[in-house]
Structure 1
Amino acid sequence: KSVFSFSLLFLLVAFITNFSRTFSNDDGVPIIDTGFVPIHTYSRYFIVPSFFGIRSGRLKLVKTGDSNCPVTVLEEDFTSDRGTSVKFSIIGTSYDILTGTPIEIEFTKKPDCVESSKWLVFVDKAIQKSCVGIGGPENYPGMEILNGTFNIQKYGSFVYKFVFCLDGSNICSDIGWFNNGEGGGRLILTNYQISAFVFFETWAYEDEVVKSLA
């Protein structure tokens, strides 16, 4: 009962304070990658911070708390590595991904200790944050996993943010970062320090590296 009460109270604060910020008149428009091409479900992308500076790094998976498996998504500090690519999937026959469209996000590589590399949100009571991770209930003993979907929304010119919406409601929250002294910032549900990203198609990055070495 106490776990439920804590989770309910925390979620009300996390979502309601951010409710008015997560809906946009730009919903339903194509999401454009760094090559000025709409992103789609049949390619792979690096998610790259939209600016250079202290948090200009890749998304990576780390071990947090008492976990023996790297399942928490972290935006790493001080690196030019683009990290592990992701792929997107949507329900339906369309290949193009539009702003506000419910999507699944999945890393193209995963540790052996998880069954799935799809993104999810779990409540970490130790830091009182709802964090983005991968895996399943077996990777989060004693923690609550929130049922919901992700979507992408505009956050500037060719710059985007991730949003998480609870199933069965219109309650959504932006995804930002939280520095817990882990070598970067966890991706969390928040209305502060929102993380802004661009999408770099993997083949374009590989082609860029080849040209630079030629």
Structure 2
Amino acid sequence: MKTALSTLLFFLLYAFTIKLSFTSAEPVLDVNGDLLLPSNQYYVLPLIWALGGGLRPGKIHDSTCPVGVVQDFSELSDGVPLGFSPVPDIGIVPANTPLSIAFAEAPRCAESGTWIVVKEDLREGLSLGIGGPRDHPNHEIVRGHFTIHRDGMGYRINFLPSTGGATSGHVGRIFDQFGKRRLVVTDKDPYLVVFKKASSGVSKI
């Protein structure tokens, strides 16, 4: 009985220590200087306003459903808002900690709006997509998690795989053969972003 109680106390102390380390991490801030919160939704915009608009699901490889992550060309478009879910959920979105990222609204043809990384025949890196394996037939899904890091005046989003055969990298932007601005995981220049809180009444896809 004493051994079981000691074990329970150890795990409770361990969990508290882990949570304390997350809560003491640097928080991520939006463009107004407010804390990024898991309960809110945010537009992800380029650090430099003249470099285009926000992010949204878009068609990639041979899919008829918009299961990639692309950037709008127009600076007047904020794109589709996203949610950020830290693991564990501690009420804020801290920097340098594991996250799940998802569009607030997914296309009806997609499994979900959750960001995933897909092995595709891209010279620049791995493809950033949404959904699950059925949304990307004939392409391998790379399991892992995302993190947000301060980079100068903006932020970069990193990806750390949990499986072998893939290296970590950060989210970058490329122009594909169709002229789309696609987001990829790469070791080249990061795509620096800021976060703008979305209003409660966002439009659906």
TM-score by structure 2 length?
A: 0.79
Write the distance in 1 (CA, Å) between the matches of 2:135 and 2:116.
11
**Structure 1: gaps of 5 or more residues:** 1-26, 207-214
Q: Are 1:82 and 2:78 counterparts? A: yes
Aligned length in residues: 178
Q: Relative to 1, partners in 2 of residues 1:57 and 1:93: Cα closer, same or farther, differing over 3 Å?
A: closer
Write the distance in 1 (CA, Å) between the matches of 2:180 and 2:72.
4
Q: Are 1:123 and 2:127 counterparts? A: no
Q: Which structure is richer in relative contact order (CA contacts within 8 A, separation 6 or more)?
A: 1
Listed one character per residue, the Cα deviations across residues 45-78 of structure 1 (whole Å, up to 9, x for unaligned) are 111111122x321212111222111001012223
Listed one character per residue, the Cα deviations across residues 73-93 of structure 1 (whole Å, up to 9, x for unaligned) are 012223311011011112234
Moved more, 84-93 or 196-205: 196-205
Q: How does 1:142-181 map to 2 (within 5 A)?
A: 142-157=138-153, 159-167=154-162, 172-181=168-177
Write the distance in 1 (CA, Å) between the matches of 2:135 and 2:31.
34
Aligned residues with identical type, % of pairs: 27
CA RMSD, Structure 1 to Structure 2 (Å): 2.4
Matched to 1:148, the amino acid is G
Q: How does 1:12-91 map to 2 (within 5 A)?
A: 28-53=25-50, 55-91=51-87
Which protein is bigger by CA-based radius of gyration? Answer: 2
Residues 76 and 183 of structure 1 are in contact (CA less than 8 Å); yes or no, is this contact kept in structure 2?
no
Moved more, 36-45 or 72-81: 72-81
Moved more, 101-110 or 160-169: 160-169
